[in-house]
């Protein structure tokens, strides 16, 4: 019986999440009401309030869940210029693919820029540790090379999420990995040439 209840709760939350994603593609989170959301997904208001206190609480719970998945991916494959880099990127694209509707909404024009900032912060903290190990001495321009890679990855993700193309998460992970690797190789060459 508990499993049936859990399945029902998951289904209800998934419906609410899908409805919120659709509404966020149309308007700002500040403009979305509980009534509008429950009407869109044909669920009673009381059912919504069993799970969330308001729209902001719902969005916060969704974002925390996604951030937890990203942290788990980092823990499983610590970021670095090593064999873990590709599996981490592949995990990231799997997370994005499995949560495409809400990720599109969060990264879209009506999305939550603080959510993107939190992702960048988590990845930067882990990436810079790895880069500092790879480049052990203080390096001028490392922060710029990193920012270039991160901004490029975010832009690539936004385009992929919003396109109806046929690129698989695996394809996008390979493309991203190659671009990041090439950028860091060019940066290492630049560093070597300027040191001479």
* Topology (CATH) of 2-195: Tetracycline Repressor; domain 2 (1.10.357)
Q: Which two tokens stand for residue 114?
A: 């603080």
Residue extents of the structural domains in the chain = 2-195
Count CB atoms within 10 A of the CB of residue 138. 7
pLDDT on residue 89:
92
CB-CB contact of 24 with 56 (8 Å): no
Q: What is the SS3 assignment for 64-110?
A: HHHHHHHHHHHHHCCCCCCCCHHHHHHHHHHHHHHCHHHHHHHHCCC
Q: How far apart are alpha carbons 180 and 171 in whole angstroms?
A: 14
pLDDT on residue 132:
73
pLDDT on residue 70:
93
Q: Chunked in runs of 10, what are the mean pLDDT values of the chain (196 residues)?
A: 76 96 95 97 96 97 96 85 81 94 93 91 83 69 85 92 86 93 83 72
């Amino acid at each position: 019986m508990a499993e049936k209840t859990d399945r029902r709760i998951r289904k209800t939350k998934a419906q609410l999440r899908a409805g919120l994603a659709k509404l966020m593609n149309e308007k700002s989170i500040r403009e979305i009401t509980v009534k509008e959301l429950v009407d869109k997904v044909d669920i009673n208001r009381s059912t919504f309030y069993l799970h969330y206190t308001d729209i902001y609480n719902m969005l916060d719970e969704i974002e925390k869940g996604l951030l937890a998945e990203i942290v788990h991916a980092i823990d499983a494959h610590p970021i670095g210029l090593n064999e873990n880099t590709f599996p981490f990127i592949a995990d990231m694209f799997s997370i994005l693919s499995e949560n495409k509707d809400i990720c599109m909404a969060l990264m879209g024009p009506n999305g939550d820029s603080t959510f993107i900032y939190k992702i960048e912060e988590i990845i930067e903290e882990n990436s810079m540790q790895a880069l500092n190990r790879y480049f052990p001495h203080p390096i001028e321009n490392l922060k710029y090379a990193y920012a270039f890679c991160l901004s490029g990855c975010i832009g690539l993700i936004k385009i992929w999420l919003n396109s109806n193309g046929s690129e698989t998460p695996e394809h996008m992970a390979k493309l991203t990995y190659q671009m990041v690797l090439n950028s860091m190789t060019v940066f290492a060459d630049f560093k070597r040439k300027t040191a001479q």
